[in-house]
Chain A
Amino acid sequence: MPIQSDERPIDRWVDGLPKTSFFEFVAARILVPFWAWWTPVKPLPGGPHPSFQRGDNVQCMMNLVMPLKDKSPVGRTLAALAIAQNKDAIYAGLNNVGTVHFARFVIVNDNICMFSVYDGDFTNYIRDFIATIGSVFNAVVGLVEDGEKVIPCEQNVEAFIQWVHERDLYQVPDTATDFLRDQEALNGDEAVSPVNDDLTLLPRKLILQLRANANVSLGNGYRAYPGFSAAQVRERLGLGW
């Protein structure tokens, strides 16, 4: 790249500084903890952003990450078995709740995760599941950290729903500015204009938020055929619902 007329070696060096491992070390060990203490941010809630509009209430994403109690291959095997042995129950439940497009259980490191795409309100979806596959939930959640306080889920419906909600990942909005609005909303700041923001702080705000919400879903997700419920897709494809 051609050197520009006013660029001195020190400028070049400083421009390249953030990519050095020295800076990464300083940032991770000193800068981030300092700013997290000086300008704390609260964790943002998980799940899809509440919306009244119908397109936003179908094909909603759930990204559930649950750390296992037993963080070893044995623990992961137990989790895998809990799902495999209950496959019939899971499928019957999913078919009868009727609002799930896709659902899968994934083990990543020492976490058992459930990623699904569903229609309608989150609490109704979980509640209908408790009614149909509560036993599967009990089996799986029993293996998860802090799970025993909410099982059996049939006897602790409201607490279970809250527990799942707390483990549903925050969905970072598709645009950086909507992310700023999320942070502001959590602090009760709904102003539009005139305000006194500092957009150059965006990187720091994002870094601190990703420290408070270590696992996040990036963006709203891509949909090939947005706006349709699972039952609508089945109906139009002639599959019966």
Chain B
Amino acid sequence: MVDESVAKQLVQVIIDNLPEPVPGRRPVHTIGMGVKGKFVASDVARTYCIAEHFNGQPVEVSMRFSNGMGGLKQHDGWSDVRGMAVRFHLSDGTASDLIATTLGEFFVRNVEDFFEFSKVAKLQPYQRRHWLLKILDYLQLKVPPRNPNPNETESIDAGVLGYADRHRFSQLGIFQVGQIGAPESYARASYHAVHTFWVTAPDGVRRPVRFSWQPVAGVRNIDAEDVSRDKYLFNELEDRLKRWPARFMLMMTIGEEGDALDDPTKPWPGTRLRVAMGTLTLIEVAKNQDEDGERISFNPNRLAPGIEPSDDPILKARLGAYEVSREMRGGCPFKWRQDNAHTK
């Protein structure tokens, strides 16, 4: 378990880098919405994992979709990572959480890297690149830095790029963030849980796996040039779910000997075994957004028996960091397992 003071430092470092304070709210993924749904596992899920939500019986699910940026200003249309946190409610009142984002890889390997990153990736004044310099970029066959979004005066882009230029392990995550765009709908993006977990099968065999949610309706982003739409995702999803349910497939990739199990910056190749673990159906936007969209609190280490965290240092650090953040903002605590597994 990461030292509590380290967890506090992690949260503080994120808070310090906000354009303005957000008391009582999450320091990142501040803007979000709660949604209710149901998950039904596939026929084969139970042969890979004994966790209750994979046994085939329908399971109630509470979710929160969110925009990655911290801060109270909502800019749905800006290029940004989206989050999908899912809580599978188990029969004994406990739950198993799965937290995923549209970014498939993280950009730092461990807590030390993260602290260094935060020092470098600070908010700096950001303005449009001069047109002469842009022409110079084109002559060098380079793509100039993006134009600022409407009313965007500060950005961490320059610092982040500087960090990527110095550390190759971070380049993939940072590059993906640069390209990520804005989805048409929360239900039309792929979300990845990034970290490796170990699942136990009924015969006792343990396998290292990574989870991803694939939208049945397909991935679709809005036009990259269009950065003017600030608030559309909430209404879009509400309208969508009134017309018909939205669905996601849960895909589980099984890692092999030699794969980077504990390194969240390294993706697994498409040549790994891929199991379809089940279907998630979004039924309706939660009626009580304060409780189910804001104060609800997830933790990637809250796992049903049958699923265990790997030794991924970022996953471990999130255990403490999420609890600290929850306390600071007055989020609702949720039951941990009786045996308190994975909380130590």
A residues near B (Cβ < 8 Å) are: 1-2, 4-7, 10-11, 13-15, 17-18, 23, 27, 31-32, 35, 52-56, 58-59, 174-178, 180-181, 191-204, 207, 220-223, 226-227
How many residue pairs, one in A and one in B, have C-beta atoms under 8 Å apart?
123
Complex formed: what's the CA distance from A194 to B169 in Å?
10
Known: A35-B141, A226-B272. A196 touches B165 (CB 8 A): yes
Cβ A227 vs Cβ B272 within 8 A: yes
Minimum Cβ distance to chain A for residue B15 (Å): 27
B270 close to A (CB within 8 Å):
yes
* Closest residue of A by beta carbon distance from B128: A6
Which range holds the interface residue count of chain B?
35 or more
Give the residues in chain B near A191, CB-CB below 8 Å.
Answer: 168
Known: A35-B141, A55-B256, A204-B140. A174 touches B269 (CB 8 A): yes
- The stretch among B131-139, B201-209, B231-239 that forms the contact with chain A is B131-139
Give the residues in chain B near A7, CB-CB below 8 Å.
Answer: 128, 147
Q: 24 pairs across A/B with beta carbons < 8 Å?
A: A2-B150, A4-B150, A7-B128, A7-B147, A10-B131, A14-B135, A23-B138, A27-B141, A31-B139, A53-B256, A53-B258, A55-B256, A175-B267, A191-B168, A195-B166, A195-B167, A199-B161, A199-B171, A200-B137, A200-B145, A207-B141, A221-B270, A226-B272, A227-B254
Cβ B140 vs Cβ A196 within 8 A: no
Complex formed: what's the CA distance from A180 to B272 in Å?
23
Complex formed: what's the CA distance from A195 to B23 in Å?
39
Complex formed: what's the CA distance from A6 to B131 in Å?
12
Known: A11-B128, A15-B147, A203-B142. A226 touches B165 (CB 8 A): no
| Cβ proximity bits B162-179 to A, threshold 8 Å, 1 near / 0 not | 001111110110111000
Give the residues in chain B near A174, CB-CB below 8 Å.
Answer: 269-270
B219 close to A (CB within 8 Å):
no
Cβ A195 vs Cβ B168 within 8 A: yes
Give the residues in chain A near B148, CB-CB below 8 Å.
Answer: 4
Give the residues in chain B near A31, CB-CB below 8 Å.
Answer: 139, 141
Cβ B141 vs Cβ A226 within 8 A: no
* Closest residue of B by beta carbon distance from A226: B271
B5 close to A (CB within 8 Å):
no
B167 interface neighbour in A178, A194, A226, Cβ under 8 Å: A194
B225 close to A (CB within 8 Å):
yes
Cβ A193 vs Cβ B175 within 8 A: no
* Closest residue of B by beta carbon distance from A224: B274
Query: Which B residues from 260 to 316 make CB contacts under 8 A with A?
Result: 267, 269-274
Give the residues in chain B near A178, CB-CB below 8 Å.
Answer: 172
Cβ A177 vs Cβ B138 within 8 A: no
B259 close to A (CB within 8 Å):
yes
Cβ B269 vs Cβ A180 within 8 A: no
